[in-house]
Amino acid sequence: MDDNVSSSSGSLGDLPPREMRSSLHRIVDWASDYRETIERRPIGPAVQPGEIAAHCPADAPDEPESLDAILADIDSVVMPGIVHWGHPAFLGYFGSTSNGPALLGEIVAAALNVSAMTWRTSPAATELEGVVLEWIRRMIGLSDAFMGVVYDTASVAVFHALAAARERCAPMIRERGIAGRTDVPVCRVYASDQAHSSIEKAMIALGLGETNVVRIPSDSVFRLDVAALRAAIEADVQSGFRPMAVIATVGTTSTTSVDPVAEIWPVCREHNAWLHVDAAYGGALGILPEGRWALDGVDRADSVVVNPHKWMFVPLDFSALYTRHPAALRAVFSLTPDYLRGDAAVGQVDYMDYGLPLGRRFRALKAWMVFRAFGRAGIAGRIREHCRLAQLWASWADADPMFERAAPVPMAVVCFRCVRHGIDDDECDRLNAAIVRAVNASGEAYLTHTTLRGRTVMRVGIGNVLTTSEHLERAWECVRREAQRHIPNAMDPSAGSVRDIG
Ligand SMILES: Cc1ncc(COP(=O)(O)O)c(C=O)c1O
């Protein structure tokens, strides 16, 4: 087609208003049907790698295609390759589920498509971002010494926190970089052996090196061992390294263990190291009065990340970084391109000054809608129920001789292991991995496995707004059935054995 002539509709593919309205109605119906029928779908897809792409042409179409054809392909090409994260028996990772208010918020945000780089480019997106950041901060009980910024993910948030810490540790890196400098020490970061791999990624991106993340052993319940931290830092200082930051985790990825932040902080203060708290998952527990213990000492931190897209029912993506030192973030990232000069509005925040991205989605809108529609009580009630459900699952694992629990359950994640007398640990690892694969292949439930102290364990994470105890009962039956299929004589309870994998 000649690029200069219009398509038959005269819109070069965009939808004229009337067609747009009816198409939007169709999609709204489609999304509502999806939510209504999600439970009847097999959770994991039965596709082979490459199968979805094989249904798509190598080049984008030359000519505008009809919306009917495109929507038909959502059902025939896209849907067969979907893992239904929103299914109530999806128990993998940390659940991130959509919900009615969030979906509506995403539609409005997409219609507006504003960019919250400066206050002037979007006053409403900027101010609503500040509002929801304050709501989250107050809900979880963080002091007003912290200022927040929204990023897409906790991985990006820790990158920003460590960029600020790097500037404090070795000044002028913003201007002069690191290469060829003899006045820049080797900066090190400390985190437990349970902390998330995003720390290494941040250190790679900051040019500080993956090997300068020092992994500190965790104790018997997977919390950072403070004496080991102190010893590692002291040894490093003796060897000429500079302790740049310590990362404490509130809700580790595998077991949701909580590092003793209040005890870690004095070590940081002694060595002038930045304390970043990764509360990406566990920060949400602070909404519950009975969950505040998890944030003990967090107010002392230099920065804290909380991911409402993990356990506060805001769908991907929405990650909130709080820092006591917003000026330090600005000092690293504030850089105004010519075409935005003069845009600054007196007394207003321009969020582009606090991070790498210039264009910024109106993420605050969906959070604002979820928080208003659920209310604090609705969020807290769900979190409390998820914790109850996790205890229920843990009680089943404890009571069944085929299984043993692999870690305490402080939040809504349970790690457990199928055990069998007479097989060695490696065989037992393969058995547990095989059970997870079989459960996921069944389509009835979806879980993941993780490694604790070198051994493979099964892991369920409960975080979906739709999950009830009935869903968990069926998922548990599925796990038991697959375990029985994979181990001979599994019904003989005397054959079960308890192993120490903690
Ligand atoms: C404790 C913890 N921190 C950070 C992350 C990274 O989160 P994101 O996917 O938002 O980058 C995860 C991911 O699950 C996590 O479990």
Amino acid at 214: V
CA of 124 to the centre of ligand 1 (A): 28
Question: How much distance in Å is there from the Cα of 282 to the middle of ligand 1?
Answer: 11
pLDDT at 11: 65
Residue 222 backbone class (left: φ over 0; alpha: ψ -120 to 50; beta: rest): left
Q: In what order do the strands lie in the sheet with 319-323?
A: 147-151, 319-323, 303-306, 274-278, 242-249, 187-192, 213-216
pLDDT tens figures, 396-407? 999 999 999 999
Distances (CA, A) of 402 to 175, 415, 419: 60, 14, 6
Structure confidence at residue 420 (pLDDT) = 87
Q: Among 3.40.640.10, 3.40.50.720, 3.30.300.30, 3.40.50.2300, what is the CATH number of 114-361?
A: 3.40.640.10
Mutate to test the pocket of ligand 1, among 156, 253, 256, 448 (most ligand atoms within 8 A of CB): 253
pLDDT digits (tens, 9 = 90+) for 307-333: 999 999 999 999 999 999 999 999 999
User: Which pair of tokens denotes residue 167?
Assistant: 């500037």
- Per-residue confidence band for 421, with pLDDT thresholds at 50, 70 and 90: confident
Every domain of the chain with CATH number 3.90.1150.10 lies at: 371-495
The band of 499, judged by pLDDT with boundaries at 50, 70 and 90, is: very low
Nearest atom of ligand 1 to the alpha carbon of 319: 10
Q: For residue 498, name the pLDDT band (cuts at 50, 70, 90).
A: very low
Is the pLDDT at 338 greater than 80? The verdict is no
Percent of the chain scoring above 90 in pLDDT: 85
**Tens of pLDDT along 81-123?**
999 999 999 999 998 778 999 999 999 999 999 999 999 999 9
pLDDT band at 359; cut points 50, 70, 90: very high
At 452 the three-state DSSP class reads strand
What is the best residue among 198, 304, 314, 316 to mutate for testing ligand 1's pocket, by most ligand atoms within 8 Å of CB? 198
User: Which H/E stretch holds residue 496?
Assistant: none
Asked if residue 208 has pLDDT above 90, the reply is yes
9 CA from centroid of ligand 1 (Å): 45
At residue 470, the 3 state secondary structure works out as helix
Query: Over 80: is that where the pLDDT of 502 sits?
Result: no
How far does the centroid of ligand 1 lie from the alpha carbon of residue 280, in Å? 6
Q: What is the 3-state secondary structure (H, E, C) of 223-240?
A: CECHHHHHHHHHHHHHCC
pLDDT > 90? residue 5: no
Cα 281 to ligand 1 centre (Å): 7
Q: Is the pLDDT assigned to residue 68 strictly greater than 70? A: yes
Average pLDDT over the chain, rounded to an integer: 92
DSSP β-bridge partners for residue 356: none
Tell me: pLDDT of 494 over 50: no
* Residue ranges lining ligand 1, Cβ < 6 Å: 94, 153-155, 196, 198, 249, 251-253, 278, 280-281, 307, 319
Range 150-163 average pLDDT: 98
Determine the topology of domain 371-495 in CATH. Aspartate Aminotransferase, domain 1 (3.90.1150)
List, by residue range, all CATH 3.40.640.10 domains of the chain.
Answer: 114-361
